[in-house]
Amino acid sequence: MKKLRIGLFGFGVVGTGLYDVIHKTKGIHAKIVKICVKHRDKARPIPMDFFTFDKNDILNDDSLDVVVELIDNADEAFDIVSAAMKKGKAVVSANKRMIAENFHELYELQKKHNAPFLYEASACGSIPIIRNLEEYYDNDLLTSLEGICNGTTNYILTKTSEEKISYADALKGAQQSGFAESDPTLDVKAFDAKFKLTILLTHTFGIFVKHNEIFNFGIQNLSVEDSTFAKEKGVRIKLIAHTFSANGKILAYVMPKFIHKGDMFYDVRNEFNAVQLEASFSDKQFFYGKGAGSHPTASAVLSDLAALMYDYHYEYKKYNQRLESNNKANGTTFTNDQLLNVYLRYSDEKLLKDLQFAEIDQQYFSHNFKYVIGKVSVAKLLEHKLNDRDDVFVVRY
Among 52, 73, 132, 335, binds a second copy (CB under 8 A): 132
> Are the beta carbons of 95 and 69 closer than 8 angstroms?
yes
> Are the beta carbons of 291 and 271 closer than 8 angstroms?
yes
The answer to whether 137 contacts a second copy (rule: CB under 8 A) is yes
The answer to whether 332 contacts a second copy (rule: CB under 8 A) is no
The single-letter code of the amino acid at 41 is: D
Q: What's the min distance (Å) between Cβ of 193 and a second copy?
A: 20
Q: What's the min distance (Å) between Cβ of 124 and a second copy?
A: 11
List beta partners, residue 253. 215, 242
Among 279, 351, 373, 379, binds a second copy (CB under 8 A): 279
Task: Provide the H-helix boundaries in 212-266.
Answer: 224-233
Q: What's the min distance (Å) between Cβ of 283 and a second copy?
A: 5
| Distance in angstroms (rounded) separating the CA atoms of residues 375 and 181 | 35
Size of interface with a second copy, in residues (CB under 8 A): 52
The answer to whether 87 contacts a second copy (rule: CB under 8 A) is no
| Distance in angstroms (rounded) separating the CA atoms of residues 21 and 109 | 29
Per-residue burial over 209-234, b if 16 or more Cβ lie within 10 Å, else e, is bebeebbbbbbbbbeeebbebbeeee
Among 54, 283, 388, 390, binds a second copy (CB under 8 A): 283
> Are the beta carbons of 266 and 167 closer than 8 angstroms?
no
The answer to whether 136 contacts a second copy (rule: CB under 8 A) is yes
The answer to whether 328 contacts a second copy (rule: CB under 8 A) is no
Pick 23 or 111: Cβ nearer a second copy: 23
Per-residue burial over 72-107, b if 16 or more Cβ lie within 10 Å, else e, is eebebbbebbbbbbebebbbbbbbbbbbbbbbeebb
How many CB atoms within 10 Å of residue 2? 13
Pick 273 or 387: Cβ nearer a second copy: 273
DSSP letters along 71-140, please? -S-HHHHHHHHHHHHHTT-EEEE--HHHHHHTHHHHHHHHHHHT--EE-GGGSSTTS-HHHHHHHTSSSS
- Angle 29-35-36 (CA atoms, 0-180°, nearest 5)? 145
Among 50, 107, 208, 287, binds a second copy (CB under 8 A): 287
| Distance in angstroms (rounded) separating the CA atoms of residues 190 and 137 | 26
The answer to whether 281 contacts a second copy (rule: CB under 8 A) is yes
Among 34, 97, 131, 211, binds a second copy (CB under 8 A): 131
Query: Segment 99-128, which members bind a second copy (CB under 8 A)?
Result: 126-128
* Cα dihedral value 344, 124, 208, 70, nearest 10: 120
The answer to whether 4 contacts a second copy (rule: CB under 8 A) is no
> So which residues are the catalytic ones?
196
Among 182, 247, 280, 326, binds a second copy (CB under 8 A): 280
The residue range among 146-154, 301-309, 333-341, 363-371 that interacts with a second copy, by the rule CB under 8 A, is: 301-309
Q: What's the min distance (Å) between Cβ of 274 and a second copy?
A: 8
The single-letter code of the amino acid at 139 is: N
Among 262, 329, 350, 368, binds a second copy (CB under 8 A): 262
Q: What's the min distance (Å) between Cβ of 242 and a second copy?
A: 18
The residue range among 219-227, 244-252, 261-269, 369-377 that interacts with a second copy, by the rule CB under 8 A, is: 261-269
DSSP letters along 304-319, please? HHHHHHTT-----HHH
Q: What's the min distance (Å) between Cβ of 25 and a second copy?
A: 5
Angle, nearest 10°, between helix axes 151-162 and 167-176? 130
Among 57, 76, 79, 135, binds a second copy (CB under 8 A): 135
Pick 77 or 130: Cβ nearer a second copy: 130
Q: What's the min distance (Å) between Cβ of 293 and a second copy?
A: 8
Q: Which residues bind a second copy (CB under 8 A)?
A: 17, 21, 24-28, 126-128, 131-132, 135-141, 262, 264, 266-267, 269, 279-290, 293, 295-296, 298-300, 302-303, 305-307, 310, 315, 317-318, 321
